[in-house]
Structure 1
Amino acid sequence: MADEHGRKWDRCLADTAVKTATGLGVGILLSVFFFKRRTWPISLGSGFGLGMGYSNCQHDFRLPYLIHGRMVKDQ
C-alpha cells in the first residue's frame, strides 16, 4: 500500500510539473508574440497548468474510493 501511495505521489508531482511548465511556455509565447510582453498570459498559463495537474492528482488519489454504478432503464 505504501509503495502504491508513493508511486501516486511521484506521478502526481511529475504530471503537475510538466503541465505547469507547459502552461508557462505557452504563456511566454503568447506574451511575446501576441500581447506585447505583458505578464498576465504567463500567469494565466501557469495557473491553468497547475490547476490541471491538481485536478489529475485529486482524481488519481480518489480512484480507489469511487463507486461505479450503472444506469438502469425503465421498460
Structure 2
Amino acid sequence: MSEELNKTEMKSEDALGRMWDRCIADTIVKTGSGLAIGALASLAFFKRKPWPAILGVGIGLGHGVANCQNDYKALASPKVQSRSVSVSTE
C-alpha cells in the first residue's frame, strides 16, 4: 500500500515523527544558543553571575516549546478547502 501513495501524501505517523524530530532539534539548538548568549553576557557584563545564563536557557527553551506547539497545531488542524458552487436557476 505504501507504494501506491503519492509522493505528496504521507502517513500521519510519519508526519508526526518528522514533526517531533524537528521539534526536538529546534529546541536543543535554541536552548544551546540561549545558554551561549547568556554565558557571554555573564562574562562580559555581569561579573560571572549565573542568572544571565539561566535566563538564556529559559528563553531558548520557551521559544523551542512555543515553536513545537505551533507546529503541532498546524499538523493537527484539519485543512478545509473552500469551493465555490454555482447554482443554476433555470
* TM class, shorter-length: 0.7 to 0.9
Give 1:43's match in structure 2, choosing from 41, 45, 54: 54
Which structure's CA Rg is the greater one? 2
Moved over 2 A (4+): none
Write 1 or 2 for the structure with the bigger share of helix: 1
CA shift, 1:66, in A, is 7.1
1:8 paired residue number: 19
Q: Which amino acid aligns with 1:14?
A: A
Percent identity of equivalent pairs:
51
Q: Does 1:23 align with 2:5?
A: no
Flag structure 1 segments of 5+ consecutive residues without an equivalent.
Answer: 69-75
TM-score by length of structure 1 reads: 0.86
Q: Which amino acid aligns with 1:17?
A: I
TM-score by length of structure 2 reads: 0.72
Over the aligned positions, Cα root-mean-square deviation in angstroms equals 1.6
Flag structure 2 segments of 5+ consecutive residues without an equivalent.
Answer: 1-11, 81-90
1:33 paired residue number: 44
SS of residue matched to 2:46:
coil
